Amino acid sequence: MRPLHLELCGIGPFAGTQRIDFASLDDRALFLIHGPTGQGKSFIFDVLCYALYADTPAGREDNLKSDYLSDGVEPYIDFKFSLGRDSYRVRRALPYNRPRKRGEGVTTTTEVQSLSILNPDGSEGEILADKKSEVNNLLKDLIGLDSRQFRQVVMIPQGDFRKLLLADSGERESLLERLFDTSFYLDVQDRIKEMEDESNLEEKSSADQIERLKGSLVDLWQAEDLSPSFYEEGALLIGDAENELKEKKALLSAADRAASRARDKAAAELAKAGELNKHHLRLEELKGLKRELELSEPIMLKLAEKLKRDSRALAIKDSFQELSSARNNAESAEDELKEANHRLEALLEQKKSLELRLQQAPGEKAHLEILSRRIPLYSGFRNDFHRRLSIQKKIDETQALLAALDVSRVKWQENKDTLSRREEEIACSLLELEALGSRETRAQLIHSLEELSGLHLTLTENEVKLAEARRIKEDSAGSLMRLKSRREVNLAGELAASLEDEKPCPVCGSIHHPSPAHPGDGSDPGEIEAAEGVLTEAESRFTALQTLITSDKKKIEELTVKIPGEDTGVNDVPERIRTLKEGLGTESVLLVERDAIRSVQLPELAAESERLTGRKEQKTQELKNLQGDLEEMGKRWNAALSNRPADDTEAPPSLEELPVLLGNWEDEKLQLTELLRLLDLEERGISEKIIAAETDTAVRKGQQKKNLENLARREKTFTEVLESSGFSDEEALETALKQAETTETDGSKLEEWQNRKNENVTMFEETIRNIAGRLRPDLSLFEREKSKTSELADGAARALAAAEEKLKKAQSLGKELKMLEEASREKALRNGVIRRLSGQLRGTMPPKISLNRFFLSRRLEEVLVQATLRLSLLSRGRFTLKRRDEGKTASARAGLDLLISDAWTGTERPVNTLSGGQLFMASLSLALGLADVVQARSGGVRLEALFIDEGFGTLDDEALQGVLQVLNNLRENRMVGVISHVPELKRQIADRIEVYRDEPGSALRMVSGG
């Protein structure tokens, strides 16, 4: 978790809005939070914790709201941070008193929380949660640490981290438990305990089972009265007992066989007696049956009679049926004939009424005729009304257009006049200008004037130069003279130098030389020559200039003559030039304008005039055409009206109504046409139908005649047959036929009776034979014998079965017992192991170190490895942190006791023997080691920021430098914040957050160095 931006208002000592932009610090920044004691440096961290976990630090359980907050200002914390590649924003607003919107007084708001994603460009993205519990849970998941872990690991707090160092092992164990998740190993402890419990239960139940089995076996033997030697205390002689049981069984088996045999014999005797008895009974039965049969003989005779009659009736059945059907046919044919006649009559009626109808037809036909002539007459004028209207409109438009054209013409004339005037003006101006001469002449004049001006200038220059040259000449002459005189002086000096007192001077001859000349600065001949040269040059220059001037003046004169006008003076010329040039310019402009008028504007006007004229002609013509059309149409209409047919009595229509009327007439025409067509069809249809019906009737008549003939024939035949069959009339025949329906069953009855009678006789004879003269036996004796022997046999069998069962049971119990005892022995070893393991894991068995503690000691070891690296650095190799591995208490044995190893003395001693500054270094090292390991072990938790609160005041300068070195190395890829009021640190750390007093309360500002 790396902080990006913190904004708060009205929280803790900060009354107003404060902002810290962590993002402006380097990713690996080491920065200092400083300020006077008590202003709120550590509080900043509390704010971060509240932002992430909504928990308040100890002592501020009431809310974080600042005491300096004014009413109506919302206190809030707005914290933006990044986790890996993602950025988030969490905002928590605390409840406060806000003035009511309506009415007097204040209302207290509720806490508002929100957590949202930040987009890469810094804008707020999706809101992830807005309820306190959701926000808290989500943040905890994202960061990977809970509030306690976070406080312990990310913030190395004043005094608190010494706890870890100075605590006793029990406290240290609980501290470590909170930081490292030992739940998995606790689960292992529990799971093994479960397994132990299970195996204990199993063991117990197995023992119980063995006891039970033994008990069952003993019961069994006791029941059998087996000798007690088979169950001696502690030993069961199962094999011997089984043998005894076997013997018993064999005896019972023999007894069983004997009893069975006796039983079987008695049963056989009984069976024989039973047979004889049966035969006797049967004989009686048969006698009874015979009597029955004899009783029913008369009925059977009658039945035979009936059967005969039936056959007679059946013989003529078919013919009878044929006759009946012929009678039916004739009847139905008669009915149908009647119907056909009815139909014919109906059709004839229809035709009559249709003919009446047709008499009306001619009137309608005539109307149809009229319509047929009217419609074509008028159809051509259907659209005339509208066309006339549109033509009129066009006429109006054209007239308007013509008026507009006239107006345009007037305007055009105005333009033309304006242009002509302008042309005249220009001509006048040009003439004026030309008065001064043609353009060329004037140009020429300007040229000459300019030349003259130039010459004036040259002359002036040369005159100046001449003056200069004169001066130079005079100067050089002067110089030369001076040089020459100096030379003379020199010579004099040279001479004077060679003068000696009392010797005459070669120049003046005197002997005394009171003030002889000095050699002084010599001028040598070279100098003089040079000066002479200079003079010559100056003189020639002077002369040359003079000549030049003369020629200039001459040139000016010549030129002046050539130029007309008086103003040729030096001062006049420029003015003249200027005036002339202006004139030329104006002239050019005017010429251009005149050209434009002539070559562009006037031709344009001419063209326009043509266009106007043309258009007017065109439009006039159009108007004429339109008006002609209108006249035409009127004429045609009148012609049509006069062509109306004479028999058309309706009034002539108006053009406006015409389209509608034409429509109506056309519809009417269609209707009439249709009607006439339908009537015609109907007429034809009826005629056809009548013809068909007449044909049908005729056919049926013929048919009927034939049917009746057929019927008469049949009647005759049948009467004969009936007589010969012995029936009196048809009715009698019908009755007989009805009765004959049961003829088959009756036949069977008779047959059966006959058969039974026969059978009876046969069986009677047989039974007599079987009895063979014997008497009927007394069955009860035999039965008694049989049941006695059966009982005995059953008893024997039961005894045998019981013995067998007992033997089997004894055998199976014996086997089971053996197996159980063996298994129990095997398990014993495993159970022992489980118990021991379970006890050791839970710390109840020696060496009494629970798995939990063991695990924590490993973690502590890791922490110490990391811590020792730093402590060694800080103490320049003197101190290392160690664990103690043996001791009296469980936690000591687990290796949670800490020792300091001092290389200087070669001894180990408890941690609380260190001095204040050494203690700081040790606890700082430990806390940093802890942070490293928590991060490595929390898989995915990345501590991209770390805070260290105070403690630096206990260090001397050397130690402080050492600690600063360690902190600097901490940075790797994280941001480290140091909270301290030590002034030296202010000078050595460039990036700072300063907490300062800002009545009321405090304020923050960020300072960046370099």
Nearest distance from residue 134's CB to another protein, in Å? Answer: 25
Identify which of residues 398 and 852 has a Cβ nearer to another protein in the complex.
852
The verdict on 185 binding another protein (CB under 8 A) reads: yes
Taking the C-alpha atoms of residue 922 and residue 867, their distance in angstroms, rounded to an integer, is: 8
Closest CA to 967 of 982, 985, 953: 985
> Is the torsion defined by CA of 855, 857, 861, 867 positive or negative?
positive
Which of 33, 47, 851, 979 is in the footprint of another protein by CB under 8 A? 851
Stretch that binds another protein, among 317-325, 606-614, 761-769, 843-851 (CB under 8 A): 843-851
670 binds another protein (CB under 8 A): no
Q: With the CA atoms of 270, 276, 280 and 286 taken in that order, what torsion angle do they form, in degrees rounded to the nearest 10?
A: 110
Neighbours of 251 (CB within 10 A): 12
Site for another protein in 797-836 (CB under 8 A): 829-830, 832-834, 836
* 619/859 with CB nearer another protein: 859
Query: How many residues touch another protein (CB under 8 A)?
Result: 63
Residue 63, CA atoms < 13 Å, CB-side half-sphere: 17
What is the rounded CA–CA span in Å between residue 430 and residue 426? Answer: 6
One residue of 103, 362, 702, 1010 binding another protein per CB under 8 A? 1010
Which sign, positive or negative, has the C-alpha torsion 548, 552, 553, 557? positive
Q: Does 606 bind another protein (CB under 8 A)?
A: no
Least spacing, CB of residue 967 vs another protein, in Å: 8
Q: How far apart are CA 728 and CA 312, in angstroms?
A: 13
Q: Which residue from 667, 627, 639 is spatially nearest to 381, judged by alpha carbons?
A: 639
User: Which residue(s) pair with 83 in the sheet?
Assistant: 86
The length of the chain in residues reads: 1010
Cβ closest to another protein, residue 26 vs residue 434: 26
Smallest separation, CB 876 to another protein (Å): 6
Which x/- pattern, by CB under 8 A, does the window 194-233 give for another protein? Answer: -x--------------------------------------
Q: What are the structure tokens assigned to 754, written together? A: 């006959």
Tell me which DSSP letter residue 649 carries.
Answer: -
List the interface residues with another protein, window 872-891 (CB under 8 A): 872, 876-878, 880
954 in contact with another protein (CB under 8 A): no
Nearer to another protein, 776 or 836 (CB): 836
Q: Which of 866, 851, 855 is nearest to 936 (CA)?
A: 866
**Of these, 94, 452, 900, 989, which contacts another protein (CB under 8 A)?**
989
Q: How far is the CB of 862 from another protein (least distance, A)?
A: 6
Among 608, 984, 994, 998, binds another protein (CB under 8 A): 984
Give 244 or 984: the residue with its C-beta nearer to another protein: 984
User: The tokens of 306 are what?
Assistant: 């009936």
Peptide bond into 983 cis (omega under 30): no
Note whether 616 binds another protein by CB under 8 A: no
Q: State the nearest-atom distance from the C-beta of 935 to another protein, in Å.
A: 10
Residues in region 930-949 near another protein by CB under 8 A: 933, 936-937
Which residue from 169, 866, 938, 980 is in contact with another protein, where contact means CB under 8 A? 866
C-alpha 662/C-alpha 650 separation (Å) is 13
Nearest approach, Cβ of residue 188 and another protein (Å): 6
Neighbours of 170 (CB within 10 A): 13
d(CA 472, CA 468): 6
**What is the largest distance, in Å, between two alpha-carbon atoms of the chain?**
242
Residue 421 CB-density burial (10 A; 0-12 exposed, 13-18 middle, 19+ buried): exposed
* Cα–Cα distance measured from residue 272 to residue 134, given in angstroms and rounded to the nearest whole number: 101
Tell me which residues in 2-31 interact with another protein (CB under 8 A). Answer: 26, 29-31
Distance from C-alpha of 896 to C-alpha of 117, rounded to nearest angstrom: 43
Strand bridging mode 975-979 / 945-949: parallel
Structure tokens of 979? 């909270």
Binding of residue 987 to another protein (CB under 8 A): yes
Q: What are phi and psi of 391, to 5 degrees?
A: -65, -40
Per CB under 8 A, does 495 bind another protein? no
Nearest to 991, CA basis, from 1003, 1002, 1007:
1007
Q: Which is nearer to another protein, 185 or 385 (CB)?
A: 185
Task: Give me the residue label for tokens 């319509």.
Answer: 371
Q: Which of 858, 912, 916, 953 binds another protein (CB under 8 A)?
A: 858
Q: Is 956 in the site for another protein (CB under 8 A)?
A: yes
Residues 893-932 that bind another protein (CB under 8 A): 901, 903-907
Half-sphere exposure of 593 (CA within 13 A, CB side): 16
Choice between 192 and 736, CB closer to another protein: 192
Q: Do 287 and 765 contact (CB within 8 A), yes or no?
A: no
Q: Which is nearer to another protein, 880 or 923 (CB)?
A: 880
* Helix axes 297-315 and 238-295, enclosed angle (nearest 10): 70
CB-wise, 437 or 962, nearer to another protein? 962
Quick one: 747 or 962, whose CB is closer to another protein? 962
Question: For residue 64, which of 77, 53, 78 has the smallest C-alpha distance?
Answer: 77
- Residue 739 or 988 with smaller CB distance to another protein: 988
- Binding segment for another protein (CB under 8 A), chosen from 289-297, 361-369, 668-676, 860-868, is 860-868
Complex with another protein: residue 849 or 911, whichever CB lies closer: 849
736 contacts another protein (rule: CB under 8 A): no
> Which of 661/865 has CB closer to another protein?
865
Residue type, 309: R
Tell me the window of 144-152, 525-533, 772-780, 951-959 that interacts with another protein (CB under 8 A): 951-959
Shortest Å distance, C-beta 974 to another protein: 14
* Selected binder of another protein within 381, 718, 854, 952 (CB under 8 A): 854
Between 31 and 230, name the residue whose CB sits nearer to another protein: 31
Q: CB-based contacts of 728: which residues, under 8 Å, 6+ apart? A: none
Say whether 886 sits in a helix, a strand or coil.
coil
Residues 219, 231: Cα–Cα separation, whole Å: 10
Task: Give the residue, chosen from 111, 124, 168, 187, that forms a contact with another protein under the rule CB under 8 A.
Answer: 187
What SS3 class is residue 221?
helix
- x/- contact string, 324-343, with another protein (CB under 8 A)? --------------------
359 burial (CB, 10 Å; 0-12 / 13-18 / 19+) is: exposed
C-alpha distances in angstroms, 900 versus 181, 868, 875, 895?
27, 10, 12, 14
Q: Shortest gap between Cβ of 110 and another protein (angstroms)?
A: 39
Which one among 436, 869, 890, 982 touches another protein, defined by CB under 8 A?
A: 869
| Nearby residues of 815 by Cβ (< 8 Å), 6 or more positions away | none
Q: Based on CB atoms, which residue is closest to another protein, 389 or 833?
A: 833
Residue 395 lies near another protein (rule: CB under 8 A)? no
State the residue for tokens 């190893």: 901
Residue choice 865, 970, 982, 1006 for contact with another protein (CB under 8 A): 865
> The tokens 């001028």 sit on which residue?
523
Candidates 239-247, 269-277, 688-696, 858-866: pick the segment binding another protein (CB under 8 A): 858-866
Which positions touch another protein (CB under 8 A)? 26, 29-31, 184-185, 187-188, 191-192, 195, 829-830, 832-834, 836-837, 840-841, 847, 849, 851, 854-855, 858, 862, 865-866, 868-869, 872, 876-878, 880, 901, 903-907, 933, 936-937, 956-958, 961, 964-965, 968, 983-984, 987-991, 1007-1010
